[in-house]
Structure 1
Amino acid sequence: MHVLSPQASSASSADPFQLERLAEELASRELSHPAQADLQDGASHDLPIYIPLSHENPFLSAENFDVEEFLLSRSHTSLQDLRTELRNYLATLKEELVKLINDDYEAFISLSTDLREEGDRLVGLKIPLSALKSQIAISKAELRAIQNEIMQKLEQRTVIREEKALLHLLLKISESVTRLESLLSITNPSQDEETIEYERFKVSSISTSLENTDERSIANKAKHLNRAAVEYTQLLYHASKARSENCAFVDEIQWKIDRIQSSLSSDLDALFASTLSAIAGDVKLSELEKSKILPDLTECIRTYDVLGLWRDAEEILRSEVMRPFIRKTVFTGALSAPHSPLLPHTPFRSSMGTGFPHSSSTIPPRTPFTPFTAFSTQQSAFPSALGKTKSPYSRLLDNNDDPLAKLYTQILRFVERDFSSIMDTAEKVCIKSRASTGPLQVGGLENGRNRDGVGFDIMANVIWHELGKAIMDDLGGMVFASGRPDEFRKNYEITQAFIRSLDFMAPSAQAVQSMRSHPVYSMFEKRWQLPVYFQMRWKEIVSKVEEALALPVELSDNLTMTADSLITPQATAIWVALTACWSAEIYIPELSYRFWRLTLQLLSRYRVWLNDVVQDNIHGFLNSSNTINTGKISEANTRSPTPGLSEKPSIEAFAADESTLVKYVSFVADIKTLQSSTMTLWHEEICMMLPDPDEQDEQEEEPKPQDALENAVGAISALIIPISNTIIAILTERCIVSLNAVKKIRTDLRAKANKQLPTEPHPWIPSILRPLKVFFGTSGKSGVGAVLKAEYLVPWSSRVFENVCEKYIAHVSTLKKAEESLRRLKRGAKSTTFSLFGSANPKDDEGRDEERIRIQLILDVEALRKDAETLGIIPGNSEAFTALSNLVQNDEPQESS
C-alpha cells in the first residue's frame, strides 16, 4: 500500500492508469536486459528455425529414443501442433512402407517360384558324399603312413650323422693321442715290434735333427712343448665332448691321456727348471746365450698358462729359485751374521755345466774392478729389469744400518733382479691369453687373473709364501719383539717399508691384493701383536704423566715466564705425552684411533687435575682470609674494618698470596700455551695421520675428530674463569689497602695550620694501582703476570679498578656519615641541613674545612683516573668510577644503606 504525496495524488488524477510510470519501468527493464542491450548496440537475434519431422532427425534415429530430449527440442511447438506433426509423420511412414512392399512384391513371388523342387535336388546331392568321405579318409591314412616312414628315415639319418660325427671325434681323439705320444716320445707297450721300431726310428730322427741345429735346440724344445700343450688342450676338449656321449672309448684310453699329461707336465717342469737354473742360478752364461734362453722362459710360462698349471709353475719357482735363496739368507742367526752383498749375474761366458751349446773357445771369468755391493747400481739378468725404477720406500732400508734393514735390502735386490721380469712376463701372458679367449666377464678375470685362482700369483704364492714363513719361523723371536717397544717399533717400520717396496715391484694392483689376502700374510700380520705394543706405550706414557701430576705445584717467585713455553712440570708432562703419541718413534698408523683416544684422555686428565687443584686453592683462600673471591666487592667488605684488626696484611699472608699468584698465572699461561700448541699439533700432524672417515660414518653424523679435540681443549680453557677470579681478588685486596688513608683525610686537613685550599692529590694515590703495575711489569720490572700482559692487562685491570672504585665509594660514604654525625653533635637539632660539600660561608672555619675536604677528594679521584688510564683502562666505561666521581663532586650528602 502506497501513501501518496499531494503531488502524486494530483498526478494520478491526471493519469489514472499511470501509463507514464509503466512506460518508464518497461524502458528501464529493457535496457537492463542483456538482449535488449545487444539490440541497442546493433546486434541481431535469429528466430528459431522450424525443422519438420523426418528420418534425419537425430532424436528419431537414435538407438535409444529419449522422450524428454525430443520434447525439449520441440519446446517452441504447442502440444496440438506436435500431435499433428507426429500424425503426419506416421502417415508418411505408412506410405513409404506400402511403397516398399509394392516395389519388392514381384521379387518375393519370383523367389518362391525359383525354389520349387530344390529339396529333391539337395537330397540327390547327399548320396555321393559318403563315398567321397571314405576315399578321403583312405588317402589321408596313406599320406600319414608315408610321412611316418619319411620321419623314421630322417631320424635314422640323424642318428647315423651323430654316430658319424662321434666316430670322427673318436678318430680325432685317437689321432691326437697318437700325435702327442709321438711328440712326447711315449712308447706304447701294446704295440708290436715293428711299430715300436718305427717309433724309435722316428724319435731318434727327430732328436738327431734337433741336435744338429744349435739355434733350434732350446727354442725348438720350448715350442715343441707349447705345440704339445695346444694339442693336449684340444684333446681334453674332444674327450669331454665324447665323455658327455657316454663313450666307452674315452674310458679305455684315459690311462693314455693321464700318461700324456704326466709326460707333458714332467717335460715342461724339467725344461722350466733347467731354464731357471741357467738364468737365476750360479751358472754363468754369455749375453747371447741369455738372449736365447729368455724367449724359452716366456714360452714355458705361456705353456703353463695354456695348460692351466699355474700352481705347478709357482712350485718350481719356489723350489728352484726362491727357497734356496731364502735358506741361505733367512735363518736363525741371520740378523747377527755379516751380510754379504748380492752380486749380479756376471756377464761372462762359461762352459762349466751349462747344459747348453757354447763356443769352443771360452774366456775365463774375471772379477770386475769395481766391487758390487747391495747398495750399488743394480744389474739384472733380465733386460726389462734394467730400466725398472727402484721403489721409493726402499730408501728407508738403504739408509739404515739396522741388520734387519740390510737383510730386507738384500731380499729386495734379489726379488728385483730374479723375479721382476718373470712376474711381468707372466702377467702379460695371462692378459694376452684372456683377451684372445673373449671379453672378460663382470666379476671374472681382471688383469689376467680372477679370485678363483686362475692365473699366476708369483708375488703371493712364491715370494711372500716362502719369505713370510721363513721370517715367522726363523726370525720371529727377534722381529716380533713386542716386549721391547723401541725395537718392536723400529722392526715394524722397517718391515712395513719392505712390504711397500714389494708392493711397488708387483706387476699389478691385483697382485698386491692377492699378496695381502694370502693366508701367510694374514698370519704374519697377526704375529705383530699391535695391541700389546700399545698397552706398553700407554703404560709408559701414562705412568710419567701420573708421576708428574702427583708432584706438588711448587714454583719459584723469581720464575722466568715466557709465552712460548710451559711453566709447570704437570703441563710439560701432558704436552710431552701428547707429542709422544704422534711422534715418529712411537706412532703406528694401524693404532691411530687408539692414540687418538689416548690424546683425548690425557687432555681430560689434565683438566680434572687442574680443576681439583684450583678448587682446593680457592677453598683454602676463602678459609684463610676475609677477602674477595669472585672479583666483586661484597657488602660485608664495603663496611669499615673491625677495630683491633690489622689493616695491612701480614708478611705470611702476603707470601701466600704471592705464591698463589705465581701458581695461578702459571696455570693460565700453561692453559693458553697448551691450547695453541695442541691445535697446532692437530693441523700439522694429527689430522694428516688419522685415516679419513668412512662415508657411512659421515652419514651417521658422528662428531668429527677436530670438534672432539676443540671440546677437550675448551673444557680446559673454561678453568681460566675461576682462576682469573681468584687472581683479581688477590690484586683487589692489595690495591684497596692504600684506600685506608681516605679515613684520615678529615683528621689531616683539620690538623694542618695552613688552611689554604689543596692543589695536589695525596701522594698515596699512585700506590692504589701500583700492585697492578708490579703484577704486569708495566713499571719496568719483570712482574709475575708479565707473561699474560698482552691478553689480560686491560680486562683484569678494569675489573680490579671497578672493585677499587666500589671500595673507594664505601670509604667516602663512611667519611660523609661521620662528618654528618659530628655536625649534628656540634649544632644540635637545627632546622637547616648541614652540607659536607656545600658552599659554606668562607669566613666560617667549619665550612671551609668541608670545602677543603671536597676539593681534596676531587683531586684524588682525578689523579686515580689518570693513573688508571696508564694501564689502558677507560674510566668512563666504569659504572663504579662514574658513581665515585658524582659522589665527590656532589654537595649534598647521600644516605648509604
Structure 2
Amino acid sequence: MPDQIPSPAPRSATDLFSDPLDSHPMWLKPSLFLSPDFNSESYIAELRTFVPFDTLRSEFQAHLSSLNHELIDLINRDYADFVNLSTKLVDVDSAVLRMRAPLLEIRDKIQGFRGAVESSLTSLKNGLSQRAEATAAREVLELLLDTFHVVSKVEKLIKELPSASSDLSNGDVDSIQKSNALNSHVENGTANIRETQSMLLERIASEMNRLNFYIAHAQNLPFVQNIEKRILSASQLLNAGLGHCFVDGLEHRDVTAIYNCLRAYAAIDNTGNAEEIFRTTIVAPLMQNVIPHGSSGVVAGASGDELENDYGQIKKLIEKDFKFFLEIASAENSGLHVFEFLANSILKEVLEAIQKGKPGAFSPGRPKEFLKNYKSSLDFLAYLEGYCPTRAAVAKFRAAPFYVEFMKQWNVGVYFSLRFQEIAGALDSALAAPSIVLAQNSGSGEEYSQNLTLKQSVTLLDSLRSCWNEEVLVLSCSDKFLRLSLQLLSRYSNWLSSGLAARKKGSAGSNPGCEWALSAASDDFVYVIHDINCISKEISCSYLDHVLHVLSSCSAEVLDLVKQSILYCGKSLDDLLPLVINTIKEALVQKSVEDLRQLKGITATYRMTNKPLPVRHSPYVAGVLRPLKTFLDGEQATKYLTSNARNNVLLGTATDITTRL
C-alpha cells in the first residue's frame, strides 16, 4: 500500500467559531456540477456579476483540493478493491471485437433502411408536387370555365333587356290599351317594365360582380386578355342600361326600380355613377331655379350674395323632392350605406351653384355678410346631417371630400384678421389721443357705457363686447377672440400704467401715447379711478357670465381657464388704483408746497420791523390745505370717488404736507 496522504488536521475541540473545512459560500453549489445540462462558461459568467474573479478562483481551487482529498480517502479506504480491479480486466480486446461485429451489422442495416426511406420520401414528394400542379391547373381551368360561362351569361342577359321591354310593350301594353281605363293601365304597364328591367339589371350586376372577382384572380392569363373586349362591352352596356333605368325610376319616383338599381350599382362598386346621375338629373335642375348660374361662371340673375333665403328654398326642395330618395338610400339593412348622396350629390351641386352664381358669398371682405352666410351654411350642413341615420353616417358625411371642400371656402382666418383690425384699431385710435376725452353718454345706447366717463374706457368696453357679439363671433375662432379680449384689457392697462409712469418721471420720453397723463389735472384722474372700478366690476360680473354662456359647450376645465384669465386681467386693472391715487396726492401736495414757500417771509417781517406780535391765526394755515379742500369738495370727487378713496386721498395728502413743513 502506498503512503497515505495525510489528511488535514482535525479541528480543535475548543475551535467553536471558525468555519468548517468543507464549508462553501452560499453562492457556490457543488450539486450543480452534477447536472446533465451544466455549462461552466455560463455558470462562471453568472457568478462574475456579483463575485470577484480572485474569490472565484480561490474558492474553486479550495473545492478542487477538497475533491482530491475525498478521492484519496476513497482509494485508501478501498485500496484492496482498487488493486483487484486491474486483475479482473482480462481479455478486454477480444470482448471488444466480439461486440463490434454485431454493431457493424446493425449500422449497415440502418444505412440500407435509411436509403430506402429517403428514396420513398423523394418519390412521395414528387408525387405530391405533381398532384399540386394538377390541382392548380384544374383550379385555373375551372376559373377560366367559370369566367367564360359568366361572360356568356351576362351577354345573354343584356340581350334580354330590350326584348323584355318590347314584349311587355307590344303584348301587355297593346292588350291594356284595349281596356276602358287606358291611362291608368299604361302607367301600370310602364311601371312593370321598369320593375322588370331593374330586377334584370340587378341580376346582371350580381353576375358582373362575380365576373370581376374571377378576373381579379386570373387577370394575367392569356384567355382573360382575349375576352377583355367582350367584358368591357358588357360593362358599358350594363352601365348604359342601368343609368337609363335609374333615371326613369327617379323621374317617376318608382321606389322598387330605384331600390333595385341602387343595389345593382352597389354590386358592381360603381356608386359614383349613381351619385352623379342623381345630381345631374334631379338636383341640378332644381338648384338652377334656386341659384341661377351659367356654365361660364357668370351670374345669371342672382340678386345679392346672401344665402339664407336660398338655403331655405333648398331645404323645401329636399323635403319635397329628395326626401323619398334619401329615405330609400338610408333604409336600415338595405346594404345601400356605401352611397353618399348628401355630400357627393346635394352638397356638391350646392357648392358648385354658389361658386358660379354667388361667388361673393365666400368673400370675407364684407365681414357682416360673410358671417351671416357662414352661419347659414353651418345651419344647412346641420340640416343635412339630420338625414344621417347613425353617428357613423354623420362622421362619414363630415369626412367626405366635398364637405371638406365646402368648409375650405369659408376663410374664417381672414375674417378674424379683418375683425381684429376693426376692433383693436378702434381702441388704439382712442388711446392715441393726446389728452383725456370725456365720453358723450347720450351717444351710447349701452347701459354699461352710461356709467363711464372717458371715451377711452367706453371704447374698451365696446371692443370687449364686440368680441363676443353674435354678429361678430365665429365659435370655431373663439380661442382667437378670447385672446383678443385679453389683449384689449392688457393694452388698456398698459396705457394707464405707462401714462402714470411718465407723469411721475416728468416726461413721456420715447413712449408715445403717454402725453395724456402729463396734461391731465387732478380731477381728470378721478374719472380714471371711476372708470377702472366700473370696468373691473363689469368684467368680473356680467361680461364674464356672458363669455362663459357663449362657451358653455366647452369642458369644465376649459371654462375654468377662461374664467381665471379674464379675472386676472380685471385684477391687473384693480392693481392700478393705488398708483392713480398716489398721482392725485402728489399733485395736491405739489400745489400745497407752493403756498408753504411764503411762510419764510413771516419771520423776516417781525425781525426787520416793529410790527406787533400776531394775535390771530395766520391766513397761510388755511391756504396750505386749500387745494386739498377744493379737490374734495369738487363736483368730480363728490360724484365719482367712494368714501374709502376720499379718506385715502385726505389722509395721504395731509401726511405728505405735514412732512414738508
Alignment TM class, shorter chain as reference: 0.5 to 0.7
2:205–2:267 contact (8 Å) kept in structure 1: yes
Aligned residue for 1:71, secondary structure, equals coil
The structural deviation recorded for 1:334 is 5.3
Find 1:672's aligned residue among 518, 528, 533. Answer: 533
The structural deviation recorded for 1:520 is 5.0
The amino acid of 1:267's aligned partner reads G
The structural deviation recorded for 1:275 is 1.2
Note if 1:414 corresponds to 2:317: yes
Note if 1:662 corresponds to 2:523: yes
Equivalent residue, structure 2, for 1:845 = none
The amino acid of 1:412's aligned partner reads K
The amino acid of 2:149's aligned partner reads E
- The two structures, once aligned, show a CA RMSD in angstroms of 5.6
2:168–2:193 contact (8 Å) kept in structure 1: no
Equivalent residue, structure 2, for 1:276 = 250
Equivalent residue, structure 2, for 1:238 = 214
Note if 1:184 corresponds to 2:158: yes
- CA change 1:221–1:542 in 2 (3 A) is same
Quote the Cα distance in structure 2 between the aligned partners of 1:298 and 1:542. 58
Post-superposition Cα deviations, 1:87-133, rounded to whole Å, max 9, x if no partner, equal xx9999589659x969x99xx69x98xx999999999x89x979x97
Find 2:470's aligned residue among 578, 584, 592. Answer: 584
Equivalent residue, structure 1, for 2:638 = 785
Quote the Cα distance in structure 2 between the aligned partners of 1:92 and 1:620. 116
Note if 1:459 corresponds to 2:342: yes
Equivalent residue, structure 1, for 2:239 = 265
Quote the Cα distance in structure 1 between the aligned partners of 2:118 and 2:574. 106
The structural deviation recorded for 1:554 is 5.9
Quote the Cα distance in structure 1 between the aligned partners of 2:97 and 2:584. 142
The amino acid of 1:502's aligned partner reads L
- CA change 1:278–1:748 in 2 (3 A) is farther
Equivalent residue, structure 2, for 1:474 = 357
Find 1:171's aligned residue among 139, 145, 148. Answer: 145
The structural deviation recorded for 1:783 is 6.0
Find 1:721's aligned residue among 559, 578, 583. Answer: 578
Equivalent residue, structure 2, for 1:484 = 366
Note if 1:321 corresponds to 2:261: no
The structural deviation recorded for 1:616 is 6.5
The structural deviation recorded for 1:316 is 0.9
The amino acid of 1:599's aligned partner reads S
The structural deviation recorded for 1:71 is 2.0
2:523–2:637 contact (8 Å) kept in structure 1: yes
The structural deviation recorded for 1:538 is 4.1
Instruction: Note the 1:646-657 alignment, pairs <5 A.
Output: none
Equivalent residue, structure 2, for 1:38 = none
Equivalent residue, structure 2, for 1:37 = none
- CA change 1:97–1:158 in 2 (3 A) is closer
Aligned residue for 1:185, secondary structure, equals helix
Alignment size in residue pairs:
551
Quote the Cα distance in structure 2 between the aligned partners of 1:496 and 1:162. 58
Aligned residue for 2:641, secondary structure, equals helix
Equivalent residue, structure 2, for 1:296 = 257
Aligned residue for 2:206, secondary structure, equals helix
Quote the Cα distance in structure 2 between the aligned partners of 1:785 and 1:663. 13
The structural deviation recorded for 1:589 is 3.2
1:317–1:462 contact (8 Å) kept in structure 2: yes
Post-superposition Cα deviations, 1:271-325, rounded to whole Å, max 9, x if no partner, equal 211111112xxxxxxxxxxxxx324322322222221111111111111111112
Post-superposition Cα deviations, 1:502-543, rounded to whole Å, max 9, x if no partner, equal 334444555555555555555554544445444544444455
Post-superposition Cα deviations, 1:871-890, rounded to whole Å, max 9, x if no partner, equal xxxxxxxxxxxxxxxxxxxx
Quote the Cα distance in structure 1 between the aligned partners of 2:377 and 2:565. 33
The structural deviation recorded for 1:576 is 1.8
Equivalent residue, structure 2, for 1:67 = 7
Post-superposition Cα deviations, 1:723-765, rounded to whole Å, max 9, x if no partner, equal 3124335666899989x99x99x9999969xxxxxxxx99999
Quote the Cα distance in structure 2 between the aligned partners of 1:602 and 1:680. 18
Quote the Cα distance in structure 1 between the aligned partners of 2:365 and 2:647. 55
2:326–2:387 contact (8 Å) kept in structure 1: no
The amino acid of 1:404's aligned partner reads L
Equivalent residue, structure 2, for 1:859 = none
- CA change 1:134–1:298 in 2 (3 A) is closer
The structural deviation recorded for 1:459 is 2.2
The structural deviation recorded for 1:467 is 1.2
- CA change 1:490–1:748 in 2 (3 A) is farther
Post-superposition Cα deviations, 1:235-278, rounded to whole Å, max 9, x if no partner, equal 2223333446x3x3323333332233222222222221111111
The amino acid of 1:232's aligned partner reads M
Post-superposition Cα deviations, 1:143-195, rounded to whole Å, max 9, x if no partner, equal 877776666666555544444444333333333233222322269xxxxxxxx
1:210–1:217 contact (8 Å) kept in structure 2: no
Instruction: Note the 1:132-171 alignment, pairs <5 A.
Output: 156-171=130-145
Equivalent residue, structure 1, for 2:303 = 336
Instruction: Note the 1:183-202 alignment, pairs <5 A.
Output: 183-185=157-159
Aligned residue for 1:274, secondary structure, equals helix
- CA change 1:327–1:554 in 2 (3 A) is closer
Post-superposition Cα deviations, 1:570-600, rounded to whole Å, max 9, x if no partner, equal 2212222222232222233344454444434
Quote the Cα distance in structure 2 between the aligned partners of 1:323 and 1:516. 22
Q: Which runs of 5+ in 1 are unaligned?
A: 1-59, 77-88, 188-199, 280-292, 338-401, 435-447, 449-454, 622-657, 753-760, 811-897
- CA change 1:594–1:734 in 2 (3 A) is same
- CA change 1:164–1:619 in 2 (3 A) is closer
Instruction: Note the 1:85-164 alignment, pairs <5 A.
Output: 97=81, 156-164=130-138
Equivalent residue, structure 1, for 2:296 = none
Q: Which runs of 5+ in 2 are unaligned?
A: 16-72, 176-187, 293-298, 443-447, 508-518
1:223–1:299 contact (8 Å) kept in structure 2: yes
Note if 1:498 corresponds to 2:472: no
1:424–1:507 contact (8 Å) kept in structure 2: no
Post-superposition Cα deviations, 1:815-855, rounded to whole Å, max 9, x if no partner, equal xxxxxxxxxxxxxxxxxxxxxxxxxxxxxxxxxxxxxxxxx
- CA change 1:181–1:771 in 2 (3 A) is same
The amino acid of 1:727's aligned partner reads I
Note if 1:573 corresponds to 2:459: yes
Quote the Cα distance in structure 1 between the aligned partners of 2:289 and 2:424. 44
1:318–1:466 contact (8 Å) kept in structure 2: yes
- CA change 1:243–1:67 in 2 (3 A) is farther
Equivalent residue, structure 2, for 1:628 = none
Equivalent residue, structure 1, for 2:307 = 404
Aligned residue for 2:159, secondary structure, equals coil
Find 2:266's aligned residue among 298, 305, 313. Answer: 305
Equivalent residue, structure 2, for 1:221 = 197
The structural deviation recorded for 1:569 is 1.8
Equivalent residue, structure 2, for 1:794 = 647
Aligned residue for 2:342, secondary structure, equals helix
2:150–2:211 contact (8 Å) kept in structure 1: yes
Post-superposition Cα deviations, 1:431-481, rounded to whole Å, max 9, x if no partner, equal 7659xxxxxxxxxxxxx5xxxxxx32222221222211221122013x134
Equivalent residue, structure 2, for 1:283 = none
Instruction: Note the 1:542-557 alignment, pairs <5 A.
Output: 542-549=424-431, 550=433, 552-553=435-436
The amino acid of 1:589's aligned partner reads L
2:457–2:531 contact (8 Å) kept in structure 1: yes
Quote the Cα distance in structure 2 between the aligned partners of 1:495 and 1:121. 105
The amino acid of 1:260's aligned partner reads A
- CA change 1:483–1:73 in 2 (3 A) is same
Identity %: 23
2:344–2:402 contact (8 Å) kept in structure 1: no
The amino acid of 1:673's aligned partner reads C
- CA change 1:494–1:729 in 2 (3 A) is same
Quote the Cα distance in structure 1 between the aligned partners of 2:652 and 2:117. 125
The structural deviation recorded for 1:567 is 0.5
Equivalent residue, structure 2, for 1:683 = 544
Instruction: Note the 1:417-816 alignment, pairs <5 A.
Output: 417-420=320-323, 422-423=325-326, 425-427=328-330, 433=335, 455-477=338-360, 479-509=361-391, 512=394, 516=398, 520=402, 524-549=406-431, 550=433, 552-553=435-436, 565-611=451-497, 614=500, 660-680=521-541, 683-687=544-548, 709-710=566-567, 712-729=569-586, 784-803=637-656
Aligned residue for 2:462, secondary structure, equals helix
The amino acid of 2:303's aligned partner reads S
